[in-house]
Amino acid sequence: MEFAAFAERVERLEAEPADLETTAIVADLLADAGDDLGTVTRLLLGRTYPAHDDRTLDVGPASCREAIARAAGPNVAAADVEDRLASRGEIGAVAAGFDFGGQRGLSAFGDGSDPLSVAEVDGTLRELAAATGEGSESRKVDALFGLFNRCDPAEAKTLARLVLGEMRIGVGEGTVRDAVAEAFLAEDGPGSGTEAGNGERDATTQTDDGTDGSDGDGGDDAENRATDEAYAAVERALQVTNDYGRVARLAREAGIEGLNAERIRVGRPVQAMLAQAGTAADAVDSFGEVAVETKFDGARVQVHYAPGPDGFGPRLYSRNMDDVTDALPEIVEYVADRIEVPVVLDGEIVAVDDDGSPLPFQEMLRRFRRKHDVDRMRETVTCRLHAFDCLLAGDGDAESDRDSDGDGDEDAPGDLLEEPLRVRHDRLVDVLPDAAAELRVVDDTEAIAGIESAALEAGHEGVMLKDPTSAYTPGNRGRDWLKRKPDVETLDAVVVGAEWGEGRRAELFGTFLLAVADGDEYEPIGKVATGLSDEELEELTERLEPHVVAESGTELRIRPEVVLEVGYEEIQTSPTYGSGYALRFPRFVGVREDKSVEDVDTLERVSGLADGRGRAGDDEANDGTGDEANDGTGDEANDETDAGNPS
Ligand code: AMP
């Protein structure tokens, strides 16, 4: 494709405010891109390389201005370009405002016999990215000058913006994603093609490091009519590859089937699976059995490693797929020392103290992404990997683990994305036992609360609740993973009643009725039975027995004397208790030895907390699934708000 044709579409896109039209123009452009489809797709997004490839052009604005000045002729200096930039504010408009030597009809090539092609521009941009060392800056200016010299105004505008990474034409990833589906997978899409193409699919599409050499025939199959399916296939392939150019080519040449066959592989990070906020009751209700893991307070990292001479890494990618390997040498060493098969692992990096206990998130931030002083900082803050998922694990058989033809398209040995979490976790324990986060499968909320208390006690952020049967869905913020953050606020409430325990705890009080102050009265607000050890129960029984004022069956009425601090997930209005409110999932935090009954929280505060709902710093919504143990208070509607952006 000629670069002028690309630039002309870019101008049309820039002038088009309507989203639907934008998508249609992009779809047309992709359909017309021919051999340059991969390149055009990336350039539209202002990229030379796929998002996970951290190579950059590394051309400073000054070099770009100098190249523009030189191409504009002897009377123009870099300072003039700078002046115009100051008044116009945008490099594309500045570049378009000059008469370059190559303007059609004016230049030495004025007969149009040497038009710039998209491939040529892309090739030069890649050369810029590769140029390093002494003299590289001036070589970059030379190369850019060569391009600008052959540009007409529209081309110059697009080129300057590409070079400085400022496309700004209103074409985002979502537009390209939709346009790919519409161009190649819709029945009447612009790239659906009328010629055969069917059954002739080329599943060996190359990576973005080369051209694809396809002939541009569309893949218009019957199956492509399912538009929802087509969008979903494009989206999934993007989540797995993060390579728009590759996905566009796959859509064209291999259709939905080809997109769906795309697999995870070592060296190509996939988007991280995300969690929604949820409660223990949600997890038990929806999963039955719940896989409970510690929620580590650190930074997400994806580990890619293939041992051996022809191997890869270890390399570490952040949640946004930035390469953060160089900042974390001890993790690299740790992984390289222990892992013997190709792997892709998901986990969290946390900063730890000398005893291995977690340090606050801010400490870890002093290490993550650090480019300078890595060795010195390594002495100051130690990082540790907690791996919690295994997305790929080879079996160690070199034959099956290797991508033998090097095209990256082999049937991805060891791909575990579709496997249930339990299976993935077993593989994780096989490949990296000491760093594998413990996964406990339980089926009741009490057990979850117990694990959460232990996690909090150990200094972690809380727990994650996962469906043990669920697949790993890259980029998806679904309901298969729930993040259960600890309660932010606690309440100080006084014990006004108790119930005898059961079984081996029959001699002890097991459940405590709590109340808050309403003027001179104490109004009950909930019962707490969770979070108490046998010893604490013994102690509390001893403390409370002298204050028992009445007993009926297993229930006791107790004079308000002892104040407990309790956590909870939520405060709901409730007809059950005199206070008019009920705590959901009340959890014993401690006895407030320092507080007397005069100091307990008031109904007023409770009512304020209840109105405030979604507590500070907590992005979850009220879930409203009732919890039997908590007196049937959960009758309000679902109010899910955590449809956050999976970035
Ligand atoms: P949030 O950042 O609050 O949305 O919580 C989700 C994040 O928790 C993930 O992106 C991870 O970085 C982090 N995390 C910590 N421990 C785990 C775990 N065991 N499983 C999944 N994510 C975890």
* Average pLDDT per block of 10 residues along the chain, 647 residues long: 94 84 91 93 89 81 90 88 88 88 49 79 91 86 91 92 86 90 84 46 40 38 56 91 93 94 91 88 90 94 93 90 90 95 95 88 82 82 94 70 47 81 96 94 92 91 95 88 73 95 86 94 92 88 93 92 89 90 88 86 90 42 29 28 29
* C-alpha 116 to ligand 1 mean position (Å): 47
Where do the H-state alpha helices sit in 418-488? 421-431, 445-457
Q: Which of ligand 1's atoms lies nearest the C-alpha of 644?
A: 4
Determine the Cα–Cα distance for residues 248 and 211; give it in Å rounded to an integer.
Answer: 13
DSSP 606-644: HHHHHHH-S-TT----------GGGTT---SPP------
* C-alpha 642 to ligand 1 mean position (Å): 14
Determine the Cα–Cα distance for residues 40 and 47; give it in Å rounded to an integer.
Answer: 9
3-state secondary structure of 278: coil
User: Which of 345, 303, 350 has its CA nearest to residue 324?
Assistant: 303
Determine the Cα–Cα distance for residues 449 and 291; give it in Å rounded to an integer.
Answer: 13
Tell me, what's the pLDDT at 105? 46
Q: Which residues line ligand 1 (CB under 6 A)?
A: 272, 275, 293-296, 300, 319, 348, 388, 437, 464, 483
Annotated binding residues for ATP: 293, 300, 319, 348, 388, 477, 483
289: alpha, beta or left? (left if phi > 0; alpha if psi -120 to 50):
beta
- 527: annotated active-site residue: no
DSSP 46-103: T-SS-TT--------HHHHHHHHHHHH-TT--HHHHHHHHHHH--HHHHHHTS--TT-
* C-alpha 56 to ligand 1 mean position (Å): 29
* C-alpha 100 to ligand 1 mean position (Å): 53
Tell me, what's the pLDDT at 54? 76
3-state percent helix, strand, coil for the chain, nearest multiple of 5: 40, 20, 40
Q: Which of 157, 295, 466, 527 is catalytic?
A: 295
User: Which of 495, 500, 503, 496 has its CA nearest to residue 554?
Assistant: 500
pTM to 2 decimal places:
0.66
Tell me, what's the pLDDT at 488? 54
Phi, psi of 275 (to 5 degrees): -120, 155
Indicate which residue's Cα is closest to atom 4 of ligand 1: 275
Tell me, what's the pLDDT at 593? 81
DSSP letter (8 states) at residue 327: G
Quote the crossing angle between the two packed helices 244-260 and 37-44, to the nearest 10°.
Answer: 120
Strand pairing category for 440-442 and 290-295: antiparallel
C-alpha to C-alpha distances, 140 to 76, 100, 144, 206, nearest whole angstrom: 19, 18, 6, 28
Give the number of other CB atoms < 10 A from CB of residue 549: 10
Phi, psi of 12 (to 5 degrees): -65, -40
Q: Which of ligand 1's atoms lies nearest the C-alpha of 619?
A: 3
Indicate which residue's Cα is closest to atom 23 of ligand 1: 295
* C-alpha 428 to ligand 1 mean position (Å): 17
Indicate which residue's Cα is closest to atom 8 of ligand 1: 295
Q: What domains can be seen in the chain, in order of their start residue?
A: 10-46+170-260 (no CATH), 61-164 (1.10.3260.10), 274-484 (3.30.470.30), 490-610 (2.40.50.140)
Tell me, what's the pLDDT at 204? 39
Indicate which residue's Cα is closest to atom 18 of ligand 1: 295
CB of 457 closer than 8 Å to CB of 256: no
Residue 585 has which token pair? 């999932």
3-state secondary structure of 591: strand
**Top mutation candidate among 296, 345, 349 for ligand 1, by most atoms within 8 Å of CB:** 296
Q: Which of ligand 1's atoms lies nearest the C-alpha of 485?
A: 3
